[in-house]
Structures are given as C-alpha cells and as structure tokens.
Amino acid sequence: MDCRPGCGACCIALSISSPIPGMPGGKPTGVRCIHLTDDNKCALYGDPSRPKVCIDFKPEPEFCGSDREEAMRIFESLEK
C-alpha cells in the first residue's frame, strides 16, 4: 500500500517518542507534527533528518483503513 495523498493521519494521531527536528521531545498523541504541510504531506520526506521511526513506518490497510477518517480512528484507538 502507498501512502494516501493528503492523509497525514499517522503524523497527527500517533505519538513519536524520538526527537524530531524542531520537536526535541518528540510528538505527543494527537498533536500535528510541525513538518506536516497544509496539504498533509511530510516536509521531511526524503530528507536525512527525517526520524527513523517515520522512515520505518509503512502504510498498511489494517492501520490506514479505506480513508483518512478511518485511519484517524484506527490510530487513535491504538494510542489509547
């Protein structure tokens, strides 16, 4: 599965405990990553400073669902 254009659910709903450029303490659950653009794309995509956890995350139907709203619900349930 490829990332759904304009989704960004994983960059909002999930927490990231490792440092991110500009977010040295990581990113809390439900907080929009500062590198998520207005059209929900990663501004660090392809950049060597992109965190390993983000590089290693691969979209899968069981997590990403059929649309952005379903992905948000799935990710939020995982974080609880």
| Tens-place pLDDT, residues 20-66 | 999 999 999 999 999 999 999 999 999 999 999 999 999 999 999 99
Where along the chain do its domains lie? 1-80
Say how many CA atoms lie within 13 Å of 75 toward its Cβ: 27
Q: Rounded to two decimals, what is the model's pTM?
A: 0.86
Helix, strand or coil, per DSSP, at residue 44: coil
What type of residue is 3?
C
Burial 10-42 (b: 16+ CB within 10 A, else e): bbbbbebeeebeebeeebeeeeebebbeeebbb
Q: What are the pLDDT digits (tens) for 8-31?
A: 999 999 999 999 999 999 999 999
